[in-house]
Amino acid sequence: MTTVAEDIHRMTVDEYLRIVRDLGWESTELIEGVVYDVTPEYSRHTATVMHVFRQLDAWFPEDATCIAGSVRLDPLSIFDPDAFVLDVDVPLDPDDAVPVAAVKLVVEVSATTHSRDRGPKLIAYAKADVPEVWLIDPRPGKGELIRYRDPDGASYRTVDRFDVGENASALDVATILGP
């Protein structure tokens, strides 16, 4: 009997980048060697990302806050987080993805990708020692931010939940990050 796992061809980031370039793949991410399609980003997603970005940018004036770019976690994973904060003291190669060592905080907005963001993607972030990950569900009636800190193997030791309202309209970075 054949299982789904036997039908998966895993690849490295370097192989993935060659395929993306050669075949013109768009809207994909590589998570632990497996290529996943990225869903379209609608207005709710965009509004949430921009709101969070503005707050993080104001909170981290000495660092670089980004809403575009790829982060290389390891040889099998490269992601395009919705927003992320970089330590400006870590050197970057202008012709390569951001190294995970430069990442201080990652934000993923999940209106339609909950199972992937809270499953294989979160595990990959933890394994790569990303210090802090925020998963935001911006849907009406949800409006939740889950904050993951203190990576420990394939998970995080500290998990906090915050009500942030629809599209994260009630998000207060000072409340989440402290004084």
Q: What is the CATH number of the domain that holds 126?
A: 3.90.1570.10
State residue 71's pLDDT score: 95
Q: Is residue 147 part of a domain?
A: yes
Write the DSSP symbol of residue 120. Answer: I
* pLDDT value of residue 53: 95
CA dist 172 and 179 (Å) reads 12
Residue 2 within a domain: no
Helix (H) or strand (E) run with residue 46 in it: helix 43-59
Q: Does residue 159 belong to any structural domain of this protein?
A: yes
pLDDT of residue 2: 47
Are 105 and 136 a contacting pair, CB within 8 Å? no
Q: Give the residue numbers spanning the domain of 81.
A: 41-177
**Positions in the chain short of pLDDT 70:** 1-8, 24, 26, 39-40, 179
SS3 content of the chain, % helix, strand, coil (to 5): 30, 30, 35
pLDDT value of position 110: 86
What is the pTM for the complete model shown?
A: 0.83
For 17, the 3-state DSSP assignment is: helix
